[in-house]
Amino acid sequence: MDLSLAGITLLRGAEVYSPDALGQQDLLLSGGQIIAMAPHIADDALPGCAVVDLHGYTLCPGLIDQHVHLIGGGGEAGPHSRTPEIALSRLVEAGITTVVGLLGTDGITRHPESLLAKTRALEHEGITAFMLTGAYALPSPTLTGSIARDLTLIDKVIGVKCAIADHRSSAPSAALLAEMAAQARVGGLLGGKAGVSVFHMGNSPRLLAPLYDILRDSDVPIGKLLPTHLNRSEPLFTAALAFARDGGFIDFTSGIEQPIDAAAAVARAVAAAVPLAQITVSSDGNGSQPVFDAQGNLTGIGVGGVDSLLRALRTLVQQHQFPLAEALRPFTCNVAAFLGLSGKGALRPGSDADLLVLTPELAIHQVWAKGKQVVDHGKATVRGTFE
């Protein structure tokens, strides 16, 4: 039975992490939000209230994945290597209740218009979804003709993406990069959004130099620039630590396991005095995973999963001995802070009822999105329209 249909749902007795450790709490859900939270909430004055007993489980915010190829990625081996669209059930079974979609290498046969349609579809099907305009190349493909107009006028667009320091990038000039980031900044201000710029980072020895060029050539704050895939090489990881110490956010990819997996990257960054609040983790899910030789020839290709996000969280706790309250932050509240998503990434009265219920082994038991149960006993209870 869909317990959320009763209108008011009481989740009773879980150990709650907001992500701060709050001990055993009851949560009252209604209208897609948390309307009350206390050590005990009586249900006798709430006729028709559905009560869910969660004693023995851990309750925390749903995961926010800010880097997913919702309409697929790839194409580096030709049209047959384009990865397919992602299904709703894959996202929720991975504990993801808020997702940000983007384009990758292929900004020619894939379009921001299609990405916007998929973003709206996922929102209709039950989770929260946003998107970035742009793709790998500059000038950016957009919906309205400019980055600033996209952010100002399109509700679902919260930032822009491009690729730098990669042989698949368009080799953008410093001036073009600065203009892109400045447009995102202004569009964000006019649209009431974060106005962030996300940078796919490749293996070029230039490392993060293009981001410092933006800071030199514009007045865009460093906190609006996010380099990602920073665990793909040791030199890039080292550069990321310096960027974070300078005040920037840094993003590690849970889909990258070598040379540094995301959990190890977070642990090493914190040990190197990088503030935990400036670290995020995303999956790069549903994109292609191409393998190139030293000459740049494609030698293999696969599809990234979104379940790597929860695995990284689990590894951070079980192998690197992070308290769960700290381990959750790069997957929840830190991401919400960077993206300017109020009501997301934390559990408190007034927040959206996006919830992850975990077993003692940190496996998914239930997922709730917008106050509706979408996963039970680790399996999706909802399906996308064409699943």
Which residues are catalytically annotated? 284
76 is in an annotated binding site: yes
Q: Kindly state the helix (H) or strand (E) to which residue 93 belongs, with its residue range.
A: helix 88-93
288 labeled part of a ligand binding site: yes
67 annotated to bind ligand: yes
Is 75 labelled a binding residue?
Answer: yes
Asked if residue 161 belongs to a known ligand binding site, the reply is yes
User: 22 exposed, middle or buried (CB, 10 Å; 0-12, 13-18, 19+)?
Assistant: middle
The total of other beta-carbon atoms located within 10 Å of residue 262's CB is 29
| Residue 233 assigned as binding residue | no
Give burial (CB, 10 Å; 0-12/13-18/19+) of 370: buried
Q: Is 69 annotated as a binding residue?
A: yes
Whether residue 80 is annotated as binding a ligand: the answer is: no
DSSP state of 255: T
- Is 105 annotated to bind a ligand? Reply is yes
The answer to whether the annotation marks 17 as part of a ligand binding site is: no
The CA-atom distances, in angstroms, between 330 and each of 245, 280, 381 are: 16, 4, 27
| Among the listed residues 118, 68, 75, 139, the one whose alpha carbon sits nearest the alpha carbon of residue 98 | 68
Instruction: Supply the DSSP string of 132-193, one letter for each residue.
Output: EEE-SSSSPP-SSSSHHHHHHH-TTEEEEEEEESSTTS----HHHHHHHHHHHHHHHHHHTS
Task: Check the annotation: does 213 bind a ligand.
Answer: no
Contact 37, 16 (CB under 8 A): yes
Distance CA 342, CA 346 (A): 9
Is 377 part of any known ligand binding site?
no
Kindly state the tokens that stand for 176.
Answer: 């073009």
Token pair 């974070």 in the structure block, residue? 244
Q: Distances in Å between the alpha carbon of 186 and those of 112, 213, 221, 301?
A: 20, 19, 12, 38
Could you list the residues known to form a binding site for Zn(2+), using ranges: 67, 69, 161, 200, 229, 284
Could you list the residues known to form a binding site, using ranges: 67, 69, 74-76, 105, 136, 161, 168, 200, 229, 232, 284, 288
Could you list the residues known to form a binding site for substrate, using ranges: 74-76, 105, 136, 168, 232, 288
